[in-house]
Chains A and B, each alone.
Chain A
Amino acid sequence: MIEVENLSKRYGRTLAVDRLSFTVRPGRVTGFLGPNGAGKSSTMRMILDLDAPTSGRIRVNGGRYRDLRDPLRHVGSLLEAGSVHGGRRARDHLRWLARAGRIPESRVREVIELVGLQSVAGKRAKGFSLGMGQRLGIAAALLGDPGILVLDEPVNGLDPEGVRWIRGLMKSLAAEGRTVFVSSHLMSEMALTADHLVVIGRGRVLADLGMTEFIERNSRSHVRIRTPEPERMRDVLTAAGARVRQADDGFLEAFETDAARVGDLAAANGLTVHEVSTWSASLEEAFMRLTAEATEHRAGAER
């Protein structure tokens, strides 16, 4: 469990993290979502005690990270910027980590196999592709078999097969009862993996809720209608309280109503309809709307 309480971080004149409070619980994947520069990486660095908070506090399994006995056995982390020396062989990188974390050397081979790096384990990291580097980072995170995983943009640079693999991995780690905290700037990615969402923008929490709840609350759908009598249809729908607009492709788009109601109204008014379908706005749009509102609001408040 990770508890973040009233956390703020100032770099020079920039307030990167602004009174952030949330809790990451075990047994589920918690997505940490926000546009680039929202303060995700800073928060993750502070969880690992790499950066000191300006104010507020973080508890990892009830205490400070630096007070954990053998931290690698409690928390595995993958940070965005990478943390492998290019001149070092992949296996040696894991080896020194194992020594530092008092993890049996046999575990090095296990994680190399787990992430599928057997063929390049003896190669120096500078020749690695972004995806291979990401896999090595994930191997390092899993080395201590930790109960908590902090992963900053883990799908970055992975090929589609790797992306699918990491999604499955995160889900299975959470299913084993582990705490999985994963950041992303892509809503679509989170929709596929996260059970819970913490959305931040400009360093502040914008939403902290279950994924299903987020979808229900934020997906605005509309009904698309193809009809030879668009004028009459528009009048009928507007009279019934819907908002209607003409799409470029000739369809009518009706908001604040649903397909069944449109069908009923058409039948009751004797209208010919060629097609009625429901369209859902993407979660990406919902996310953009959420963060854009926050940005505007904040920009207004600051001046």
Chain B
Amino acid sequence: MSAETARAVLGAEWTKLRSVPSTLWTLLPAFAVSVGIALSFGLVLRGAYDDLRPESKASFDPVGSGFNGLRLGMIALVVFGVLTVTSEYSSGTIRASLAAVPRRGLFYGGKLVTATAVAFLVSLVTVLITFGTAQAAIGSTHNASLTDEGVPRAICGAVLYMTLLSVFAMGVAAMVRSAAAALGVLVPLFFMLSEILNNIPGVRTVAQFLPDAAGGHVLRLVPREDTVLGPWTGLLVLSLWTAAAVAGGHVSMSRRDA
């Protein structure tokens, strides 16, 4: 594969992505929800901090609390990841795409790289503004600042967490080829199942390894005590999930008829 071919594929995918606004609009809630929740949650904390019990004060995590909204906002990034892939199938564009770029791996790679770059940028902006908004809302007495220990890690980790979940969604979408099927699996998993399972003590030993739960540790400054995973090991687990989904998508892309 020449560099020119790779440039052509990336250019085509970027043109595709830009030219369907409905897909790009799905990214807006990622930002709006994350920042909105950070703001309201932060303001509530500012008012309620003094009434907290001493043990809650001791374990108060301004970064983790401020990033609570990301767990909701990332659903939009998951939807974006899914739609980027499945719209090829629902619209029939896949036939034109593969006629133009018949090497499946090249096409799939080009699509994923382009969409991942967009997801990364949106995550970066969202995380930074979410952090800033949350800390401003919490107020200077109890908040965290960029230079505090662990904060740069939490911010970088949060960007990677959101981006990886979006890529995971792209891989799953490439396997099932339908938005309904992909979102039918991913949204309940991330929204409810993972949360519920991780609150059942016995099940938690296994459920902590679910993609969003494992990756979520990096969002916190103060680690949870009921897990064997740390911020980076958790992110590694999420990376493995993502690699598996992308590989599964690649197999489906290469082997199945378009």
Contacts and interface: CB of A to CB of B under 8 A. Distances in A.
A193 interface: no
A181 interface: no
B91 A92 contact: no
Interface string B185-224: 0000000000000000000000000000000000000000
Given A45-B257, A50-B95, A50-B258, A99 B15 contact: yes
A159 interface: no
A155 to B, nearest CB: 19
Interface string A41-79: 000010011111000000000000110100110010101
Contacts of A65: 102
A65 B103 CA distance: 10
Contacts of B13: 96
Most B CB contacts (10 A, CB to CB) among A68, A82, A93, A102 go to: A102
Interface string A243-264: 0000000000000000000000
A66 B5 CA distance: 13
A100 B92 contact: no
Contacts of A68: 102
Interface in A109-142: 140
A239 interface: no
B103 A100 contact: no
A210 interface: no
Interface stretch (A23-31, A83-91, A196-204, A212-220): A83-91
A92 B16 CA distance: 8
Interface stretch (B19-27, B35-43, B60-68): B19-27
B19 A95 contact: yes
Contacts of A92: 15, 18-19
B91 A85 contact: yes
Interface string B2-30: 00100011011101101111110000000
A96 B12 contact: yes
Contact of A52 (B11, B16, B257): B257
Contacts of A50: 95, 98-99, 257-258
A79 B258 contact: no
Contacts of B12: 96-97, 99-100
A91 B35 CA distance: 36
Interface residues of B, number: 30
Interface residues of A, number: 33
B87 interface: yes
Contacts of B101: 100
B116 interface: no
Given A81-B95, A92-B15, A51 B87 contact: no
A101 interface: yes
Given A51-B258, A96-B15, A97-B12, A84 B100 contact: no
Most A CB contacts (10 A, CB to CB) among B19, B23, B103, B258 go to: B19
Contacts of A97: 12, 96, 100
Contacts of A101: 8, 100
A83 B19 contact: no
A82 B92 contact: yes
A48 B99 contact: yes
B14 to A, nearest CB: 8
B119 to A, nearest CB: 19
Contacts of A72: 99-100
B92 A49 contact: no
A96 B87 CA distance: 15
A85 B103 contact: no
Given A50-B258, A99-B8, A71 B87 contact: no
B258 A96 contact: no
Contacts of B87: 85
Given A84-B96, A101-B8, A140-B96, A96 B102 contact: no
B227 interface: no
A105 to B, nearest CB: 10
Contact of A87 (B8, B20, B95, B97): B20
A93 B95 CA distance: 13
Contacts of A96: 12-13, 15-16, 19
A47 B92 CA distance: 17
B93 interface: yes
A79 B95 contact: yes
A44 to B, nearest CB: 10
16 contacts: A45-B258, A48-B98, A48-B102, A68-B102, A79-B92, A81-B95, A82-B92, A83-B93, A85-B87, A86-B91, A87-B21, A88-B20, A96-B12, A96-B16, A100-B97, A101-B100
Interface of B: 4, 8-9, 11-13, 15-16, 18-23, 87, 91-103, 257-258
Interface of A: 45, 48-52, 65-66, 68, 71-72, 75, 77, 79, 81-89, 92-93, 95-97, 99-102, 140
Given A48-B98, A83-B91, A96-B15, 19 more contacts: A45-B258, A49-B98, A52-B257, A79-B92, A79-B95, A83-B92, A84-B91, A84-B92, A85-B20, A85-B87, A88-B20, A92-B19, A93-B19, A95-B15, A96-B12, A99-B11, A100-B97, A101-B8, A102-B4
